[in-house]
Amino acid sequence: METNRWFDFFYEDRGSKVTFVVFPAAVPSSFETYPFFTSRSMAEKLGANYLCFADPSVGGNEGLSTFWYLNTRRVRTQTLVPAIVRHALQTGSGEKLLFFGSSAGGFGALMYSSMFPSSSCLVMNPRIDLLVPPVWFDEYASFVYPGWDTVKLRNKLPTNVAKFYALPPGNRVVYLQNRQDKNYFENHYPQFSSVVKGRSDAEFVLGDWGVGHVVPPRDEYMPRLRRMVARLLT
């Protein structure tokens, strides 16, 4: 059964007009230090404020690695994340938002960026659909929504982030996909790219960066993030 949770986030206001909003990828079950935050040094190199969310399903007795930044029975993630982002905008120096995430973190970054029309978002090999391979949804749901019917839960929670982009939400997306990541290239990338096909608010970068679920090298995404920061500041 799910235990009580803290909802952990890390915010650092550096006096920038841009806030870098980060959603970490899934962490291995052997990881022992929680909450887990990442990419703080990237925010520093970008000259941006830093706001990072820890997935609330991680670190419990169940040994879960992610719940894709969705609600759990006890943690209203889908309410808390946008509320915290708005609070940071209202009280901090940031005026613009740059969302960032890879794999499971890419799912969260795409979902929450779509709620902020003037934001930008860079994702790498993002999870798009929770109901295509690798399918862990029902297993995870049994822990974070104990006793719930999984069919009912599939209808309650957003399981396909591409649906947020059926109509242009007003944000801008840069999507990096490793072609040698067979599963994500064949099962996830086509779902998102087909929804935004021909639109100027989405840019796709395909590369061969290693066999499997391998993120692109830093020189592929850091220059693009810097250009996105510069664009947000104009």
- Residue reference for tokens 């309650």: 156
Q: Helices 77-91 & 104-113, crossing angle to 10 degrees?
A: 60
pLDDT given at position 216 = 97
pLDDT band at 33 (very low <50, low <70, confident <90, very high): confident
Residue 1 reports pLDDT greater than 50:
no
Residue 47 reports pLDDT greater than 80:
yes
pLDDT given at position 119 = 98
∠ CA 230-170-94 to the nearest 5 degrees?
45
pLDDT band at 61 (very low <50, low <70, confident <90, very high): low
Three-state secondary structure along 134-155? Answer: CCCHHHHHHHHCCCCCHHHHHH
Residue 2 reports pLDDT greater than 50:
no
Q: What is the CA radius of gyration of the chain?
A: 17
- Give mean pLDDT, residues 136-157: 90
Mean of all residue pLDDT scores within the chain: 93
Could you read off the pLDDT of 77-126 as tens digits, one per residue? Answer: 999 999 999 999 999 999 999 999 999 999 999 999 999 999 999 999 99
pLDDT given at position 29 = 63
pLDDT band at 64 (very low <50, low <70, confident <90, very high): confident
Instruction: Show the tokens assigned to 205.
Output: 């970068």
Q: For the chain, first and last CA: distance in Å? A: 49
Considering the entire predicted model, what is its pTM? 0.95
Alpha-carbon distance of 50 to 18, in angstroms, equals 9
Alpha-carbon distance of 174 to 164, in angstroms, equals 15
Domain spans of the chain, in order of start:
9-233
Q: Yes or no: is domain 9-233 CATH 3.40.50.300?
A: no
Three-state secondary structure along 200-220? Answer: CCEEEEEECCCCCCCCCCHHH
pLDDT given at position 65 = 85
